[in-house]
Structure 1
Amino acid sequence: MDMFPLLSDILENSPQVKTRASVSQHLSQLAETFDEYFPEDPRNGHMWILDPFSVDPTDNDVALPSHLESQLLEVSTDSTLKLQWGELELGSFWIAVSKEYPCLALRAVKLLLPFTTTHLCESGFSTVATTKTKARNRLRATLEATLRTPMPVLSRKSFKKLPEWDFEDIYNQDAPPRQTTCAKSLRNSQDESFKKAFLPNIRLFMHKINMSEWNRLSHFNNPFGFMEFNHDEVMAGAKLIPKPNEPLLLPKPGSDRCMSCAVVGMGGILNGSKMGKEIDAHDYVFRMNGAITKGFEEDVGNRTSVYVHTAHSITASQYLLRKYEYKSIPDDEGIKYVMIPEGMRDFNWMEGLFKNQRVTAGQYKNKRPWTYYAEQYNETRFYVLHQDFLRYVRNRFLKSPHLNDPHWAIVRPTNGAFTLFLALHTCDTVS
């Protein structure tokens, strides 16, 4: 009864003694049941969930690994999130946090789930108060400065095979994708193994990298992360990547509610197939690398909706495919360009492209990137695949046994494979 002083005072002065005994017995039984489900005090090490803005991430009572301590520090200094924290209920706040800090938010939500309401959780936590002294504030300022710097650069040579971290299979995810009424949509698959592996709202594209994200992704080799890369050199191009204003593709009117896509490779298997009309009949057509169509329209079609490439593929195609009279990449009006950031040269390329200037460093120094896009380049139609998406494709669908070999760092899915999975996460049906 000591937890409810107002109720205790009312019952103390009430002649209805039986009521007091009944309430007291019920609360005692409730406490016993709570102890049965939670033998350890759930508050221990988790006060940061209730108020991430007044808890020192490095305190002993904050039970978080180092990479989540860094994310908690990022959250605690985010003024926008602090405003949301004052306006949203606890559960809603952590759902909002999940957009930028999925690993930290997942840890918080897992602890909140056993409670039937956020009110009960907050009431349970409210008995513990957190105090901050001037000395702790000075320490926090020092820690903030430290954790806002890039982690030490990891070398691929330090690992004899693919290193696997405890956050290897955790990925950024966006808001749920569009609802589809297409009965044939891949999202409606009943295959249990596929449903377990498939993440319909995996983040497809890059647009913002804070220091916490940089440090997390620096544990993975390219193109799956930033291992061995210099932060400032990458960010010179990465910070210019525009945030997508709309989904890569939208359903077309009159397409029987199903968005159909064709993915066309370059292996030559279509030569003589006469499938051009069938390919072009799809709502959208994906191509990659050289993407030759001129002179082969009867076999491969002539439409291109999405062109996937790297800096290497878009430049090398001009001389590797010269014997096929290849001139440039597809130039369809409104075409969407998707880049795979496979190496440092791609970020150098993007810096020149977004600034409309010659590349200033690396393999393509002095090249003019915008001239390679057949006069169709438009920043609003340019997308860069996210490292989490690339790693997800490898880890869940195309994990090679050669990742356990000494040359693991050069093993990755092809550009064609990444294009196929991009289509699978964008369209209802894919051919």
Structure 2
Amino acid sequence: MGGSRHVATSSTHPGDLHIPGSHRFYCTAPCLSWRGGVGMRGSVPPPLIPVSPSSLLQPEPLLLAPSGTSRPAGSHRALRGSLERESFKPSSQPEEPKHNRRQPSPCPRSVVEAAKAHPTFGELFQFATPVLMWDQHFSPETWNRLKERHVPYGWQGLSHAAVSSTLRLLNASANRHLFDRRRFPGGCVRCAVVGNGGILNGSRQGEAIDAHDLVFRLNGAVIRGFEEDVGTKISFYGFTVNTMKNSLIAYEEYGFTQIPQAEDLKYIFIPSDVRDYIMLRSAIQGSPVPEGSDKGDEPRKYFGPEASAEKFKLLHPDFLHYLTARFLRSELLNMQYGHLYMPSTGALMLLTALHTCDQVSAYGFITANYEQFSDHYYEVEKKPLVFYANHDMLLEAELWRSLHQAGIMELYQRFQLENALHSAITPQPKRLAPGQDKWEESLAWRRNGLN
């Protein structure tokens, strides 16, 4: 374990750094583009200790550990043995909304109805939290509040001009809502969120996915050649500029050579860095990027020549803060490089759908038996899922399982029979304990630790 270490980029998860000898990867803040296989900037940390699944929901504010903070004494694995169930009261939300614009759904079983009926999720979900940011949200009060928070939860370190000039362009009615409900006369909007997990390879879920009213895809969303498994429909494409560009590099060999483009397709920007605001502004204006690491880049090659403000959605920093604080507060936040942590792109897209759609189905997301499948569905040879220092995929897996069990969403799951035949002699993947809601249990543990 001793001696000097070098850093290598990951071909499976672009923008992340693999520390040889470690099961975790390191991602610079934020994950940056890679040129010639070398990170543009960022220091190399020591190897990170693998982290067990955790849910550390705490009262506001959401504090990010500064660089140099050491891991707290004691492991989460050790604390698991002393968990005690108790009633849980969620933390307060970032900003109290004036009113809830979400109308009652005519669906027989909607996300809102199922969430409100659940003892834990009924308190966690705050459907009045603004999902998108647009021009009327930008005010001196908002600027002063969000400039105190690190991206993606705020604007700390970002220039007023970069943020304001972008938000002023998001002035169309389409920028206020993810979709127009008037397009769905039945009133029940069914959404599918398609991750890129290997569980979809050979799944034949394409027809079921396309049967939804709206379909979310993200990052390296390879479709050609996998239509039977993942479908062809796409309503929203979610990304950060970093994940978008690095997906084009890392997944080119699998056929991902262009960002999806279609007349009715909308793009969801995740504001993880100033470059997201600058790229969005240039995309709306139809001009080259004027500054920063993407200077000279042509947005039209990503979003098409006719892209206008109506094509773009920007997730609200308050929404990202709320999602992380209430649903995905990871133990990684308390580690030395906790300031790099944020939920994965897939997690943010799925939680966005859960706050806007009436019914939600998730495909290609991590499940308890993830080790049975390749990292991505389009890989010819099986590649293991690798965990990275800037995401907590096991925590996300616990959340998806809990939401599925609560009837709030449908999680596509699959068990390979050939693995079951060898279960007696082959060590099985670490599974979430059946019949035990570990996500709720971890909330109770965290609440108990704060009293």
The structure whose residues are more often helix, as a share, is: 1
Q: Which of 264, 269, 274 is residue 334 of structure 1 equivalent to? A: 264
C-alpha contact (below 8 Å) 1:263/1:430 kept by paired residues: yes
| 1:183 aligned counterpart, secondary structure | coil
| 1:243 CA drift (Å) | 4.3
| 1:343 CA drift (Å) | 0.2
The one-letter code sitting in structure 2 at the alignment partner of 1:220 is R
Q: Which of 112, 124, 129 is residue 197 of structure 1 equivalent to? A: 124
Residue 345 (1) aligns with residue 275 (2): yes
- Range 343-352 or range 173-182, more displaced: 173-182
Following the alignment from structure 2 to structure 1, what is the Cα–Cα distance between the partners of residues 140 and 65? Answer: 21
| 1:353 aligned counterpart, secondary structure | helix
C-alpha contact (below 8 Å) 2:67/2:336 kept by paired residues: no
Q: Which residue of 1 aligns with 2:111?
A: 186
| 1:417 aligned counterpart, secondary structure | helix
| 1:363 aligned counterpart, secondary structure | helix
Aligned residue pairs, count: 275
Q: How does 1:47-196 map to 2 (within 5 A)?
A: 157=66, 160=69, 169-172=94-97, 175-189=100-114, 190-196=117-123
For residues 276-301 of structure 1, give each alpha carbon's deviation from its aligned partner in whole angstroms, at most 9, with x where no partner exists: 11111111111111221111101100
TM-score (norm 2): 0.56
| 1:407 CA drift (Å) | 1.6
| 1:207 CA drift (Å) | 1.1
Residue 401 (1) aligns with residue 334 (2): no
Q: Which of 110, 126, 134 is residue 207 of structure 1 equivalent to? A: 134
- Range 187-196 or range 318-327, more displaced: 318-327
Q: How does 1:217-256 map to 2 (within 5 A)?
A: 217-245=146-174, 247-251=177-181
Gaps of 5+ in 1: 1-153
Q: Greater Rg, structure 1 or structure 2?
A: 1
RMSD: 2.7
| 1:348 CA drift (Å) | 1.6
| 1:335 CA drift (Å) | 1.1
The one-letter code sitting in structure 1 at the alignment partner of 2:132 is F
Following the alignment from structure 1 to structure 2, what is the Cα–Cα distance between the partners of residues 343 and 161? Answer: 25
C-alpha contact (below 8 Å) 1:331/1:376 kept by paired residues: no
| 1:250 CA drift (Å) | 4.0
Q: How does 1:376-391 map to 2 (within 5 A)?
A: 377-391=307-321
- Range 395-404 or range 240-249, more displaced: 240-249
For residues 352-401 of structure 1, give each alpha carbon's deviation from its aligned partner in whole angstroms, at most 9, with x where no partner exists: 11222111111100001122014562321311000011111001111112
Asked which structure has the greater RCO (Cα within 8 Å, sep 6+), the reply is: 2
C-alpha contact (below 8 Å) 1:155/1:227 kept by paired residues: no
The one-letter code sitting in structure 1 at the alignment partner of 2:149 is F
For residues 178-225 of structure 1, give each alpha carbon's deviation from its aligned partner in whole angstroms, at most 9, with x where no partner exists: 331212101112002111111112111111311110110112111000
The one-letter code sitting in structure 2 at the alignment partner of 1:170 is E
TM-score (norm 1): 0.59
Q: Which residue of 1 aligns with 2:74?
A: none
| 1:337 aligned counterpart, secondary structure | strand
Q: Which residue of 2 aligns with 1:411?
A: 341
C-alpha contact (below 8 Å) 1:275/1:300 kept by paired residues: yes
Following the alignment from structure 1 to structure 2, what is the Cα–Cα distance between the partners of residues 243 and 389? Answer: 20
Q: Which residue of 2 aligns with 1:42?
A: none
Q: Which of 130, 145, 151 is residue 216 of structure 1 equivalent to? A: 145
| 1:192 aligned counterpart, secondary structure | coil
The one-letter code sitting in structure 1 at the alignment partner of 2:245 is T
Following the alignment from structure 1 to structure 2, what is the Cα–Cα distance between the partners of residues 198 and 220? Answer: 22
C-alpha contact (below 8 Å) 2:66/2:339 kept by paired residues: no
| 2:177 aligned counterpart, secondary structure | coil
C-alpha contact (below 8 Å) 1:275/1:301 kept by paired residues: yes
The one-letter code sitting in structure 2 at the alignment partner of 1:299 is D
Structure 1 residues 255, 299: closer, same or farther in 2, change over 3 A? farther
C-alpha contact (below 8 Å) 1:348/1:359 kept by paired residues: yes
| 2:357 aligned counterpart, secondary structure | coil
Structure 1 residues 240, 249: closer, same or farther in 2, change over 3 A? closer
The one-letter code sitting in structure 2 at the alignment partner of 1:300 is V
Structure 1 residues 234, 158: closer, same or farther in 2, change over 3 A? farther
